[in-house]
């Protein structure tokens, strides 16, 4: 077993043995962005709840979300959103049995990075 | 030798017992979120930092309110299913894993009801 209690059979190489590849890196990034957006989603729930309570409480919460810390979190969430969006499209294509060739997965991965950075930049430009 | 078919001998012996519903639901919500997230995010970014009155006016509009209600309903199901897999993959202590899975379900259900109520109140009480 892996904990060495039964025998010393070889085990398959784990994450830190392999050189990071674009496919594995984007796969773990998909999880990280999903987890990160959970926190952003709860902040947005707080924002909607505040708007339903009173103008004063809304201004308090909106002040937090538009402070430098809030903007940092929201811009990070925006990048996470666009990455998860475009990488999710890759996953849905794979689920349909498409685009799984060795060259294709690397190409679509690079495309997802370019599109997510581009979409985030456009959103920031239009929001200013 | 057995008169049972291969299929009959292995049915029910897997570790998961279920999972197809989870897998399909994760993808169904993902597909639904393609249009819903795009329809939600642009009015939301417009409303953010534009003041209380503008936010109320945005979500008083039935189109924005209905999209937001659909978006959060589907989004929080997607969040719950996604985080469930993360917890199952990385938390190996059984007791801790079950605790976190329960917490995961409760948090997303509670957040869902909260945000749906808040949006509905804004939409119905705006003048």
pLDDT tier at A5 (50, 70, 90 boundaries)?
Answer: low
For residues B127 and B122, give the distance between their C-alpha atoms in angstroms, rounded to a whole number.
10
| pLDDT category of residue A16 using cuts at 50, 70 and 90 | confident
**CATH number given to A22-127:** 1.20.1300.10
Distance from CA of B1 to the nearest CA of A (A): 32
**B96-119 mean pLDDT:** 98
Residue A109 CA neighbour count, 13 Å, CB half? 17
Cα-Cα-Cα-Cα dihedral sign, residues B15, B90, A22, B31:
positive
- Say if residue A8's pLDDT is above 80: no
Q: Is B122 strand, coil or helix?
A: helix
Q: Provide the pLDDT confidence category of residue A6 given band limits of 50, 70 and 90.
A: low
Q: How far apart are CA A118 and CA A112, in angstroms?
A: 10
Residue A58 has what pLDDT? 96
> Where along chain B do its domains lie?
20-125
Higher pLDDT, A77 or B5: A77
Reported as type and span, the H/E element at residue B1 is none
Q: At what angle do helices B20-47 and B62-90 cross, to 10 degrees?
A: 130
Q: Using a CB-CB distance cutoff of 8 angstroms, which residues of chain B are in contact with residue A28?
A: none
Answer whether residue A4 shows pLDDT above 70.
no
Is B31 at the interface with chain A, CB within 8 A?
yes
Confidence of residue A14 (pLDDT cuts 50, 70, 90): confident
**Structural element, H or E, at residue A43:** helix A22-53
What would the mean pLDDT of B48-64 be, rounded to a whole number? 94
Average pLDDT over residues A58-83: 94
* Domain B20-125, CATH: 1.20.1300
Burial of A67 (0-12, 13-18, 19+ CB in 10 A): exposed
pLDDT value at A128 more than 80: no
Percent of chain A with pLDDT over 90: 80
Q: 3-class SS at B61?
A: coil
pLDDT grade for A1, boundaries at 50, 70 and 90: very low
Residue B77: closest CA among chain A residues belongs to which residue? A38
Which residue carries 């690079």 as its tokens?
A110
Across the interface, of A41, A49, A127, the residue whose CB is closest to B118 is A49
Q: Sort out which chain A residues have CB atoms less than 8 A from B59's CB and list them.
A: 51
The pLDDT, as a whole number, for residue B111 is 98
Does the pTM exceed 0.90?
A: no
B27/A35 touch (CB, cutoff 8 Å), yes or no: no
For residue range B21-41, what is the model confidence (pLDDT) as tens digits? 999 999 999 999 999 999 999
Which residues of A sit within 8 Å Cβ distance of B? 31, 34-35, 37-38, 41-42, 44-45, 47-49, 51-52, 55, 58-59, 62, 65-66, 74, 81, 85, 88-89, 91-92, 95, 123, 126-127
- Residue A3 has a pLDDT of 56
Please tell me the distance from the alpha carbon of residue A96 to that of residue A24, in angstroms, as a whole number: 20
Contact A62 B52 (CB under 8 A): yes
Report the mean per-residue pLDDT for chain A.
Answer: 91
Q: What is the pLDDT of residues B63-74, one digit of tens each?
A: 999 999 999 999
């Amino acid at each position: 077993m892996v904990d060495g209690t039964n025998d010393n059979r070889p085990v398959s190489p784990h994450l830190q043995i392999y050189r990071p590849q674009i496919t594995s890196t984007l796969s773990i990034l998909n999880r990280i962005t999903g987890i990160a957006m959970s926190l952003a989603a709860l902040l947005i729930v707080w924002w909607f709840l505040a708007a339903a309570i009173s103008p004063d409480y809304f201004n308090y919460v909106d002040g937090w979300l538009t402070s430098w810390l809030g903007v940092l979190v929201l811009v990070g969430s925006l990048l996470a959103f666009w990455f998860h969006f475009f990488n999710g499209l890759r996953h849905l294509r794979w689920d349909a049995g498409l685009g799984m060739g060795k060259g294709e997965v690397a190409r679509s991965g690079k495309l997802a990075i370019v599109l997510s950075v581009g979409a985030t930049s456009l959103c920031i430009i239009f929001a200013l | 030798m057995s008169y049972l078919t291969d299929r009959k001998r292995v049915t029910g012996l897997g570790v998961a017992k279920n999972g197809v519903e989870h897998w399909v639901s994760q993808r169904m919500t993902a597909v639904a979120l393609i249009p819903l997230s795009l329809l939600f995010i642009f009015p939301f970014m417009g409303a953010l930092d534009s003041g209380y009155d503008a936010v109320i006016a945005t979500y008083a509009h039935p189109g924005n309110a209905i999209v937001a209600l659909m978006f959060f309903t589907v989004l929080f199901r997607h969040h719950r299913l996604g985080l469930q897999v993360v917890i199952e993959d990385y938390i190996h202590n059984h007791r801790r894993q079950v605790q976190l899975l329960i917490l995961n379900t409760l948090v997303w259900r509670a957040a869902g009801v909260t945000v749906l109520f808040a949006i509905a109140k804004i939409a119905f009480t705006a003048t």
